[in-house]
Structure 1
Amino acid sequence: MSHPQVLRDLALFVEVAKRKSFSRAADALDMPISSLSRRITQFEATIGVRLLDRTTRKLALTAYGEAYLVQATRVVEDAQRSFEDLVAQAKGPSGQLTVAAPTDFWVTRHLSAIASDFAQQHEQVHVHLDLRSAAVDLIQESYDLAICTEVPREASVIVRKVGSIENGLFAAPDYLRAHGRPDHPGSLSRHEILLSAPSAAWLLSRGKEIHTAQVSGRLSCNSLSLIRHLALAGRGIAALSLNDVERDLEAGRLERILADWATPATDVFVVTTSRLVPAKVRCFIDFLVPRLGTAFGESRRASDPVMRRAEAG
């Protein structure tokens, strides 16, 4: 078997093993399932060991396959990265770049501008943004990278923290006039709270003082964007990011409450399936990280009335 064919069959084996399915791998590779299965069978016959156990219900790696997958993945990723780097040196990053991201309001504000600027600078890259409320599986769903606010459960992915979003508690002036302004986390239990579930425990801190507020509300939903709209309509108190509400604060549509009490920040992560990523992914991450950091920092400064007064003075 020639060296190019060995590398090609290695790549086929890695694709099938990662996706745990001949049909999903065949779709990703754009080749018939029968051809893919035949190539893997021939590859196993050539090396003399069985790498995959096939049944009518599932596909699993053998002990040999488990051990071989780590080495094979490294070889395939090295080869792919070398190829991408050669292409990038010749004409710059290229290809389809698929990015999964949450549906939060800050994403539509900042990521749209970042992706647009990146596409203008890299004309050979086509960027597709997939906004999703649920967690994604980068391997099974063929994403190049994901931006998320929770660390994925999969141990095999590479996670990089790129920033933190400051959060706070907010309500509309109409709500505060009708129900009063809480002066301590303990008084939140007497207020209508807008949550992603019917009840929750909010952790607030002030210096060394920590308070856990048990809160509940008659309206709840799994969309932060809708929670913001409910808060704007005066339906209750919401925990939102400063990035989401900075314009509402400036316009007086929302007011921050318990501002001297801190709520936990939301960390933002970039997730890839490997440290060895194609040039298009590496360039996008290098472009994305400093701009998100700047956006989060500027939002905190713009939303902090003490800092604004200090700058004005």
Structure 2
Amino acid sequence: MLHGHGDDGYQYEQEIVANFSSNVWFGGKSDKLKEHLFSNWDKIHSYPEAAAESLVSAISADLNINTNQIITTNGATEAFYLIAQTFYKSKSSIVIPTFSEYEDACKVNKHELLYLNWLSKEYKFEEGLVWICNPNNPTGDILSKSDLEILLKSNVKSTFVVDEAYIDFTDAISSAIDLLDVCPNLILVKSLTKNFSIPGLRLGYLIANRAMVQNIQFFKPPWTVNSIAIEAGKFLLREKTDFLPPVNYYKSETKKFIKKLEKIPGFKIHPSKTSFFLVELEENTAFELKKYLISNFGILIRDAANFRGLNSSYFRLATQTEEKNQLLIDALIQWSKLNS
């Protein structure tokens, strides 16, 4: 980890009353999942399945794809490092600002890096990997499936790594899974941690064509997905309608949240297609604001200065409950008055 991430509340002694720094679904905590995991507790006394085979089968059934197209991983981040290792010393183009682990994985594996602003369908690549977060973290921007298909078919010498960790946080696009059959240069990376609110379990997977999966599988160590994570994944896929974030509710709450934020002087709200979005300070720095909110209110935001392509004026917010959203609104009003 070279650049750091959000949700760093563990670094502070005071209680975090409201956490806006993590774009994990805030309503995903479940006693049903807890009970299920405790009922499988004895499995920790044996080695887990080497390649999480039963979870692979569950994902295969859920997505209606072949098991030989799937690799389960210790969070989506393991997938990024495996892909970068498979393409050791390749060229990589990264659409920024975005999740830092694409860059970190590429640097560790000696890739030649090129940074791009948001893609258009006309963009041409000579070769190598293209890394896209869709929807994008931290901006909430999206690339339509039709534009992605054009890019894939007009850049057949390049392999596109599309991170769909936040696909369940928007209704503006749907997964590009159906493009796998017609575009062999596509790798999709999926996360079960953001949408099901289990980031502490570290669970994700990648899907691609059979040949690509075989190449990547060569570099994967055994047992990287533990027994409890395997059981959690299978349970959540079976019960997913009860656990996935309700997009219409999220959209409604985010819209109300942004309307209130827009009334506070000194803040510019950037548009987003998801429940998380960027805010830009007209004066001062996000670091100063973050320190003020933690010290005075126990509220945590994501300082976005360490996203490549952004500066110290930016921070990211993720919509929480209406009550917690109001806590932040009230705190920002006080900050605005102090700095006017």
**TM-score, normalisation: structure 2:** 0.25
- Which structure: greater helix fraction? 1
**TM-score, normalisation: structure 1:** 0.27
